[in-house]
Chain A
Amino acid sequence: MAPSLQPRVDGDLRSILDSHDTLHRMVDTLGSPLNLVLPDRLAGNVRDFETTLRAYDLGGTVYFAHKANRSSALVRALATTGAGIDVASLGELQHALGAGLGPARIMATGPKSREFLWLAARTGVTVGADSVPELAELAGMVAAHGLPRVRVMARLSGFASTGTTVLSRASRFGVPVSDLDPLWAVLDEHRDQLDFHGAAYHLDTNGLPEKAAALEGCLEAMAEAQRRGLSPRAIDVGGGFGVNYLADSREWEAWTTELTGAVLGQRPPITWDGHGYGLRNEGGRLRGVLAVYPAYRAVAGPAYLDRLLATASTAHRRPLGSLVLDNLYDLHLEPGRALLDQCGAVLTRVEEVRDGLVRVAANSNDVALEAHGVLMDPILVPRGEPRPDDGPVGVHLAGNLCLEADLITRRRVPLPRPPRAGDLLVFANTAGYLMDFSAGSALMQPTARTVAAWRHGGDWRWCLDERYWPVTGREETG
């Protein structure tokens, strides 16, 4: 039997995934794969982050990192909340504006095309700049086109730490804090074009000490900006708050131990072809590193933010949250994955079952568990009644591309009974990065349609994603 990793599913997501008839109706109508999103849950997640900010008396905005999901329904629902949005392309910016988010609630980040930069400046959104040349280009564009002064934040990188040396992965993005003079120079030279709003960091890590060092580095840079006569107002701490994907920490611990045993040859493989997920056996010793997302996380999302703000600055011996507040700064954040916790699922139909291999009508780009290293079991939604002798099985999951590598997951996954063609396998809690981030149309296989669902009394209502607006089907509420 394959050791299980049951997904953590709660609230509305649990409720709709228990509505088997609804799920089958959706897939019968719109095909497999099918993305399901729950816009109302996003609003709840925004509130949870805001509550944590308020517990520290901090002002600031939660910016949803749009890149985590392309759904219109989610962005339109976001427009009804107090949150903002972090857009990383021209298309995302147009999408956000069209969904009802005003420029004051939009932050443009990431590598930017000239067109993206122009529309950002023209509409007056905040520009989170990656480099000094980007700020110079923006200022030049503002001057040349007679555009209004643009609010900018500067992404910083290469933060130093005090006491111990906190090592961090090198980043391609951001102005190194070791030499901020070019930043101050460009801000000074283009005072009429650039309105400096504050410093930002975005670290690709779940390491709290690194983030604490970065936040402290931003505080120092902000103090330097004030000494130079600038009036910065906010620090942007980026994203990376994480999601806890699993219901039970013990399953995660047991599975990783079993994988270690399998790699060392102490037990039969629990993965396709003995795949080690980064671990390897060298002369009976375990080598390499487990290259997967830590699927069980005791501290994730708003709790992780709380932990960061409660961390004491090593230089000032005071919690970072208090220091940000003492300095009267707002604290902006850009969660993607964490804001989409429990906001959706990918539904796939079983096409064929043979020899312990289950093929679904979807591929590993539609359900990007492998690309993002997230390990969790699918939920079996049967069509019709189970046969009496059906017991639990362990199976491998193959996709619909004629590629050896197209496995939905390299884990062998447990199912409560053998699936049959026509059953659904549902990948829960996949709205953040795992749904449509990398979906394409390889082999001209269909790409997933997306439906948005919402509660209506005791029922579920749903419509195509592009047809969802926060007022659709809710006429009776005005």
Chain B
Amino acid sequence: MRYDSVTDIIGDTPLVRIDEAVHGLRHIDLYAKMELYNPFGSVKDRAAWNMVRHRLADAADRGDTVVELSSGNTAKALAVIAGMHGLAFRSVTNRMRIPEVKDLLLLLGAQIDELPGRSECLDPADTDDPLTRMYHTVSAAGGGYLHTDQYFNDLNVQAHLRGTGPEIIADLGGRAPDYFIACVGTAGSSTGVARALRRHDPNVTVVGLVAGKSDFIPGIRDIDEVHEVGLFDPQVYDTIEAVSSDEAIDGLLTLVRRCGTLAGPTGGGAYQGAVRYLRGVDAELTERRTAVFIVCDRVESYLSYLRERRPELFRQPARAHSVRTLTGDELAAARTVDVAGAREWIEQEQPLIVDLRSPFAYRALHLDGSVNIVDDLFEEMLRGGLPFSRRRPVLLVCPVGEKSARYAALLTRMGHPDARSLSGGVIAWRDAGAELVRD
């Protein structure tokens, strides 16, 4: 397979059958439309490319910036495409909640503008939200922007009406599936595919999935937010159901662990929502039916999302030499020294002074002659054993003497004979009028 441009790879994704042993539906063949196979990693590659392909040449001549309201896959695809054509890309968002996606967009050279939060002292007369203002700026003709406008742009729907939908029909041997289940974000893919399928067979049942309010699944809108979407038309869906982030993660785990499909949470939500809906249908069926859902993107970008919600999935082996494993007795036995005692001790024995605060704070003011090893790093170093000689006494300092006492206890447990903590910390040192320096 040889291509002249990576954008030629967009689309023509595989349709893969999910094993009946996994979903347990007796009369339904369930297929996953593998949109994660697109070159930039998601279903949004189709819409992004379709919305800009005819406008890139003019935009490049004018030096326009591509701009979109997106916190995820559309931004990713547009950033790549803009970069390929020498254009800048700016993403405006109020929901940049996935750190990996944020970092990836920065890596791709995107500028990300995060919209302000809600006013705490409300001005009810101000109903012109920052988003609306931004919209006016980028939509003005000759303003230097190519605004793709994914929530209102019919080219978003067309990408799926001409691409995704017909591909599904072709892969099912010229038949539309009986059921099509999709998560609703911009409503572009669900609307486009639904129209294509119904042109072929008006009896297709279309299920739209939205997120529960106050819940968060990347790429899915909640039942109120969908009404803000220009492409959303309730008539497209036979039914709209809510899917929770918990269900989305359950679905993701099933796809990832049992189906060899490295799907993100949106794909997981679509799978789980599909199986939940179809289970009710399946019980009534006597003949075979087919159903298709969309796997929007890949799992790798959502590790911190998953870690936050299911920390038990990331269980780590217990770490050696950790302050978290100290017992109350060990802590109570930690040696401490007060400010007056410490000054004398420093004078007489020149202990190694380790300042556990951040380098930023250390730079500003510290005890003369101290070395700065921030606590996170110090803990990392101790995993390998004592990083200094047992013969050299050590004075540990932190802001109030709390962390330093823990590390003194840990060093003692590790066999250091004279590790002490400055009680009251640098604050007590300062308040006693002892000298602090900056280099």
Which of A23-31, A69-77, A316-324, A349-357 lies at the interface? A316-324
A205 touches B118 (CB 8 A): yes
Which of A13-21, A193-201, A370-378 lies at the interface? A370-378
A240 touches B214 (CB 8 A): no
B residues 348-388 with Cβ under 8 Å of A? 357-365, 374, 376
A164 touches B106 (CB 8 A): yes
Size of interface on A: residues with Cβ below 8 Å to B: 56
Interface of chain B, main secondary structure: loop
Best-surrounded residue of A169, A298, A433 (most CB of chain B within 10 A): A169
Show 24 A/B contacts (Cβ-Cβ < 8 Å), sorted by A. A164-B106, A166-B114, A167-B116, A168-B116, A204-B121, A205-B119, A206-B119, A209-B117, A219-B360, A223-B364, A226-B365, A253-B213, A256-B224, A260-B224, A285-B228, A286-B228, A287-B228, A288-B132, A325-B399, A326-B358, A326-B362, A328-B361, A371-B124, A372-B121
Query: Is A257 an interface residue, CB under 8 A from the partner?
Result: yes
* Beta-carbon nearest neighbor of B360 in chain A: A316
Give residues in B with beta carbon < 8 Å to A. 96, 102-103, 106, 111-124, 126-127, 129-132, 213-214, 223-224, 227-230, 357-365, 374, 376, 399-400, 402, 426-427, 430, 438
* Beta-carbon nearest neighbor of B376 in chain A: A318
Query: Is A278 an interface residue, CB under 8 A from the partner?
Result: yes
A residues 279-301 with Cβ under 8 Å of B? 285-289, 291-294, 298
Excluding A167-B130, A286-B228, 4 further A-B contacts by CB distance (< 8 Å) are A57-B400, A204-B120, A205-B116, A291-B122
Given contacts A249-B214, A326-B399, contact A278 B118 (CB under 8 A): no
Interface of chain A, main secondary structure: loop
Given contacts A165-B112, A285-B228, contact A328 B365 (CB under 8 A): yes
Query: Is A421 an interface residue, CB under 8 A from the partner?
Result: no
A199 to chain B, nearest CB (A): 14
* Beta-carbon nearest neighbor of A68 in chain B: B121
B357 touches A240 (CB 8 A): no
Query: Is A399 an interface residue, CB under 8 A from the partner?
Result: no
Complex: how many Å from CA A375 to CA B121? 14
Complex: how many Å from CA A433 to CA B353? 51
B426 neighbours in A (Cβ, 8 Å): 328
A478 neighbours in B (Cβ, 8 Å): none
A169 touches B130 (CB 8 A): yes
Query: Is A182 an interface residue, CB under 8 A from the partner?
Result: no
Query: Is A239 an interface residue, CB under 8 A from the partner?
Result: yes
Complex: how many Å from CA A326 to CA B214? 35
- Residue from the list B106, B116, B363 in contact with A207, Cβ < 8 A: B116
Given contacts A163-B106, A226-B364, A291-B122, contact A209 B127 (CB under 8 A): no
A165 neighbours in B (Cβ, 8 Å): 111-114
* Beta-carbon nearest neighbor of B96 in chain A: A164
B102 touches A164 (CB 8 A): yes
A376-401 near B? 1/0 per residue, CB < 8 Å = 00000000000000000000000000
- Residue from the list A205, A207, A287, A323 in contact with B361, Cβ < 8 A: A323
A203-218 near B? 1/0 per residue, CB < 8 Å = 0111111100000000
A264 neighbours in B (Cβ, 8 Å): 227
Complex: how many Å from CA A209 to CA B438? 31
B116 neighbours in A (Cβ, 8 Å): 166-169, 205, 207, 210
B423 to chain A, nearest CB (A): 13
A291 touches B124 (CB 8 A): yes
B129 neighbours in A (Cβ, 8 Å): 288-289
